[in-house]
């Protein structure tokens, strides 16, 4: 099994830099890969090195720093606020699961019909489709029981043009079917009927493993005629229109679920999947007795939380800043996926851009001079944040990005302040995600009546993997808010491809029929209220 266990631990050893603490004070932390020698590494030597470094970097005057810190204050979340966010989500998890409360719940808690993680007996050849970002992928995956490995045999990437992301759904599905045809043709697989895992990373109401109704598009997609329809049927119809090949059984997969299953093939204690990339979301194994919307009480089922929708009922208003409100207002789907818009890669750069514009207007940056590029939406890419926060090269990157990409008259002082903005936004994102993950972990621990709970989270997404400090900040928050949970993070490789094959393989192994029950309209909340009380008592 090719799982990347690059946990980034130990990556930042030795050198000091400055960072901004929760309350906005500058604080010293040991970071990055400078040379250290044992004898000089005591506290006094550390302090001396820190002071050296501080005087090297402290080009920003204290007066300016105070103004900037005041300006950024609304983005700083106190430990109490984070605890509040975590406990609000915890209540929303219960509402999303409830038969009577689901319909109006902002966190949808969607049953996935995945009832187990892999047990090592899975085997065979699969096709996988992966749609969830700007590219679409087709893969041929082999699960080799004898080697205990998932092998990516072949893969092809097909771009999805912007117009297609917002055009008629039929065109999108025809494009998908055409890419698959080309792929099968090139591998001479067109006359084989292989089972297919379809990673479709949008909120879907699954009626069964192969019946999945799109609730709403996210992440910039807005194709007509897909919301409210079964995506498996749309895919099958597009393949039928062509008539030159066929597919076998289909398993619908959210990317979080693929990530969890891919990770669980290597580490059986993995019961949570986490994505922090273009969008954000998590799934976990829930007790069937709490999945009130699906028949049966035995065993567990993986729940796709769709936590990106947290706050859509206004519950995060006190955490949102004016910049978050503006990013939401100018997005393709205002009012939807509030939490995601404060956290994920599709939006983080845009929040930063709006902050930089406002700081420039207030004469805190670039001598008050704007550039055309900075006034252009999405010109400050989320990857710039990771680059600018890199330990040793960050300030150089900042200068290059600000002057060359954005045409701004940036001074070294501006670069430091922009780095502070990036640090503030990425820290908030990591802390919010950490608070959400703590809610999920605490829930599993309570479900199982455990005093201590150890688990593994399979994680993917460039915001998490490419940022130099994101994972540390997230882990720190989870530790503080879920102190009785011991969580191990594994960065997995290609949950949307290999994981989709794994979901398909496990579905074939289990093949238990079950039914999604009708929701009621929310007048009778007794079960959900009972569960909330139970949880509070257990805590």
Which residues here bind ligand BGC, judged by CB under 6 A? Answer: 132, 201-203, 218-219, 254-256, 275, 277, 279-281, 306, 308, 340
Smallest gap from Cβ 26 to ligand BGC, in A, equals: 34
How crowded is the C-beta side of 320, counted as CA atoms within 13 Å? 22
Nearer to ligand BGC, 197 or 394 (CB): 197
CA 236 to each of CA 155, 183, 241, 279, 436: distance values in angstroms, whole numbers, following the listed order: 21, 17, 9, 27, 36
Q: Which of 137, 300, 419, 443 is catalytic?
A: 137
Smallest gap from Cβ 102 to ligand BGC, in A, equals: 16
Nearer to ligand BGC, 105 or 399 (CB): 105
Q: Is 328 a catalytic residue?
A: no
Nearer to ligand BGC, 266 or 280 (CB): 280
How far is 47 from 438, CA to CA, in rounded Å? 34
How many Å from the N-terminal Cα to the C-terminal Cα in the chain? Answer: 37
Q: Is 137 a catalytic residue?
A: yes
Nearer to ligand BGC, 17 or 95 (CB): 95
Smallest gap from Cβ 202 to ligand BGC, in A, equals: 5
Q: Is 201 a catalytic residue?
A: yes
Smallest gap from Cβ 220 to ligand BGC, in A, equals: 9
Nearer to ligand BGC, 373 or 516 (CB): 516
Alpha helices in 166-215 (DSSP H): 169-186
Alpha helices in 244-321 (DSSP H): 255-266
Nearer to ligand BGC, 265 or 307 (CB): 307
CA 144 to each of CA 1, 187, 280, 506: distance values in angstroms, whole numbers, following the listed order: 9, 19, 31, 13
Q: Which of 255, 312, 387, 414 is catalytic?
A: 255
Residue closest to ligand BGC (Cβ): 279
Smallest gap from Cβ 452 to ligand BGC, in A, equals: 29
Selection from 95, 106, 89, 111 nearest residue 531 by Cα: 95
Q: Which of 201, 212, 371, 429 is catalytic?
A: 201
Smallest gap from Cβ 461 to ligand BGC, in A, equals: 7
Give the three-class secondary structure for 318.
Answer: coil
DSSP string of 93-129? HHHHH-TTTGGG-SS--EE--------S---EEEEEE
Q: Name every residue whose Cβ is closer than 8 Å to that of residue 153 and which is 6 or more positions away in sequence.
A: 125, 139, 140, 141, 142
Active site residues: 137, 201, 255
């Amino acid at each position: 099994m090719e799982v990347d266990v690059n946990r980034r631990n130990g990556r930042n050893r030795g050198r000091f830099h400055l960072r901004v603490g929760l309350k906005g004070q500058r604080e010293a932390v040991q970071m990055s890969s400078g040379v250290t020698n044992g004898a000089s590494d005591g506290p006094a030597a550390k302090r001396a090195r820190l002071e050296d470094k501080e005087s090297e970097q402290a080009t920003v005057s204290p007066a300016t720093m105070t103004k900037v810190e005041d300006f950024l204050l609304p983005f700083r979340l106190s430990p109490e606020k984070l605890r509040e966010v975590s406990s609000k989500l915890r209540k929303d998890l219960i509402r999303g699961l409830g038969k009577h409360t689901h319909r109006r719940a902002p966190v949808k808690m969607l049953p996935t019909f995945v009832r187990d993680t892999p047990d090592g007996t899975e085997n065979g050849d699969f096709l996988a489709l992966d749609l969830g970002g700007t590219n679409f992928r087709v893969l041929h995956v082999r699960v080799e029981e004898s080697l205990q490995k998932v092998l990516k045999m072949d893969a092809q990437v097909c771009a999805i043009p912007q117009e297609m992301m917002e055009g008629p759904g039929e065109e999108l599905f025809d494009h998908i079917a055409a890419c698959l045809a080309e792929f099968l043709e090139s591998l001479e697989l067109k006359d084989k009927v292989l089972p297919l895992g379809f990673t479709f990373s949008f909120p879907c109401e699954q009626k069964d493993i192969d019946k999945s109704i799109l609730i709403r598009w996210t992440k910039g997609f807005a194709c007509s005629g897909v919301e409210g329809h079964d995506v498996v049927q749309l895919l099958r119809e597009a393949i039928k229109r062509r008539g030159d090949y066929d597919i076998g059984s289909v398993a619908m997969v959210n990317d979080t679920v693929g990530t969890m299953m891919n990770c669980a093939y290597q580490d059986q204690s993995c019961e949570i999947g986490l994505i922090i990339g273009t969008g954000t979301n998590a799934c976990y194994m829930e007790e069937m007795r709490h999945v009130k919307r699906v028949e049966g009480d035995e065993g567990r089922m993986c729940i796709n939380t769709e936590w990106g929708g947290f706050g859509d009922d206004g519950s995060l208003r006190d955490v949102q800043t004016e910049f978050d409100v503006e990013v939401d207002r100018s997005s393709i789907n205002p009012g939807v996926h509030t939490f995601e818009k404060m956290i994920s890669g599709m939006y983080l750069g845009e929040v930063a851009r709006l902050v930089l514009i406002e700081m420039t207007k207030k004469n805190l940056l670039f001598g008050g001079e704007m550039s055309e590029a900075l006034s252009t939406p999405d010109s400050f890419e989320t990857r710039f944040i990771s680059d600018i926060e890199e330990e040793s090269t960050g300030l150089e990157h900042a200068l290059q990005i600000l002057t060359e990409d954005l045409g701004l008259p940036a001074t070294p002082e501006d670069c430091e302040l922009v780095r502070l903005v990036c640090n503030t936004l990425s820290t908030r994102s990591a802390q919010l995600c950490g608070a959400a993950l703590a809610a999920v972990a605490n829930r599993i621990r309570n479900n199982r009546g455990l005093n201590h709970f150890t688990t593994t989270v399979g994680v993917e997404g460039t915001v998490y993997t490419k940022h130099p400090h994101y994972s540390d900040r997230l882990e720190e928050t989870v530790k503080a808010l879920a102190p009785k949970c011991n969580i191990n993070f594994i960065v997995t490789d290609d949950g949307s491809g290999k994981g989709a094959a794994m979901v398909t393989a496990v579905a074939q192994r289990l093949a238990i029929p079950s039914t999604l029950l009708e929701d009621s309209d929310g007048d009778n909340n007794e079960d959900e209220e009972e569960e909330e009380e139970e949880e509070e008592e257990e805590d």
